Amino acid sequence: MMRRAMGMGIMALLSACAVVPKPAPVAPVQKPVEAAPMANVLPSDGDRHRVALLVPMTGSNATVGQAIANATTKALLDTNAQNLRITTYDTANGAGPAAARAIADGNKLILGPLNAEDVTAVVSVARPAHVPMITFSNDADVAARDVFVFGEVPGQSVARVIAYARAHGVTAIGAIIPTGTYGQRVASGLAAAARANSVRVTDVELYERTNTSAGSAIRRVKAKGQVDAILIADNARIATYAAPFANGVRLLGTELWAGDPAIAKSKALDGAWFATVSDTRFGLFERSYRSRFGSSPPPIATLGYDAVLLTLNVARGWKDAALFPTAKLYDPQGFIGIDGVFRFNEFGIAERALEVREVHGGTFVKVSAAPEHFQQPYHQ
């Protein structure tokens, strides 16, 4: 794995991030997405590396895809990048065909796809061409030597909040976890975090994602014995309904709670802890994005922006017409973007520096800041 001076790598990207809050002067209006992917011939520009963005631009997820595409455009404009051409390919009618077009057009790196279920189709085309991808999915199971998972993996937020809770006297935890893939990831993360922090898991109750079922699950957890805290691994709707059944027991949440005003307003959740990426830079990004594109970005848009910053960082050593230097993505000292510090572990999964927030008095209070750099080796 390659190592380089932390100061040079992080400061270079910090300077890229620093341009986010500068919406003026406004350049002539830029189209969020190039028209090129729908054309038969791409412009010839041998001095720029070609990168494909694979997101849904039509269909039910078009709003999310457009926001990510806008964010990648914004990153190029903010950094005045002259060495990358990012072309957007619509995956709504099939990620495999979109990837095939991207490969045929000469792209050497793929940003996307959005969903884990599309990764297999893209890999079948990209791997034979030796083109790696940085997917926006948070499914760690799709990671491979040429597939880097960039989404916020649920188990990491669980590990962070469990470690914080243990440091503040919590030794016995119960949990209610929804059935399905997300619940399975949380359960795995909870088991690992409990072992690492010497926390006893008294009971884990599974439930279907309905209000009544979640409330009953909390009752069952409490009936199994004394607990210091209960993890509610679900979104605001479920959490706000289930919280009163805890009757004052400290509650813990996941990254699904981040930024949701319903969580902050719930009196039953007052004092609850959860971990998520830092939003220190998001406010600046949001204002600049809104100024340029006329609407507020969804939080996932930062993945598109940060993926471009990451690519630009690596592109410093990317030779013309050469394969993308995948090895540089494994830098253990990490990178920095809108969502804070991150790095890819040996499995190709993004590890993120997370902060812990407390629900308090109708708002969120940061009680443990996200680390500014990595000091520990990769998580196993």
Burial of 190 (0-12, 13-18, 19+ CB in 10 A): buried
The arithmetic mean of pLDDT across residues 249-259, rounded, is 96
Q: Of the ranges 40-44, 130-134, 231-235, 256-260, which one carries the lowest mean pLDDT score?
A: 40-44
The answer on pLDDT for 191 being more than 50 is yes
Q: What is the mean pLDDT of residues 171-199?
A: 97
Q: Is the pLDDT of residue 128 over 90?
A: yes
**pLDDT tens, residue by residue, 12-59:** 334 443 333 333 443 443 334 443 334 344 455 667 899 999 999 999
Q: Where are the beta strands (DSSP E) in 64-194?
A: 84-90, 109-111, 133-135, 147-149, 172-178
Q: CB of 224 within 8 A of CB of 201?
A: no
Taking the chain, what is the end-to-end CA distance rounded to the nearest angstrom? 17
Distance of alpha carbon 374 from alpha carbon 378, whole angstroms: 9
**Mind listing the pLDDT tens digit for each residue in 81-111?**
999 999 999 999 999 999 999 999 999 999 9
Please check whether residue 304 is in contact with residue 293, taking contact to mean a CB–CB distance below 8 angstroms. no
- Render pLDDT for 264-276 as a digit per residue (tens, 0 to 9): 999 999 999 999 9
Q: Tell me: pLDDT of 327 over 50.
A: yes
Instruction: Give mean pLDDT, residues 213-222.
Output: 96
185-214: average pLDDT: 95
pLDDT, position 322: 87
* pLDDT score of 255 more than 90: yes
Model's pTM, two decimal places? Answer: 0.84
**Mean pLDDT calculated for residue range 196-210:** 95
Q: What is the pLDDT of residue 28?
A: 42
Measured distance CA(150)–CA(163) in Å, rounded: 23
pLDDT at 378: 52
What's the pLDDT tens digit per position in 66-88? Answer: 999 999 999 999 999 999 999 99
Mean pLDDT within 221-238: 96
Share of the chain above pLDDT 70, in %: 87
Domains, the chain, with CATH or none: 6-137+279-338 (3.40.50.2300), 154-278+355-368 (3.40.50.2300)
User: Given pLDDT bands bounded at 50, 70 and 90, which one contains residue 212?
Assistant: confident
* One-letter identity of residue 3: R
Instruction: Provide the pLDDT confidence category of residue 377 given band limits of 50, 70 and 90.
Output: low
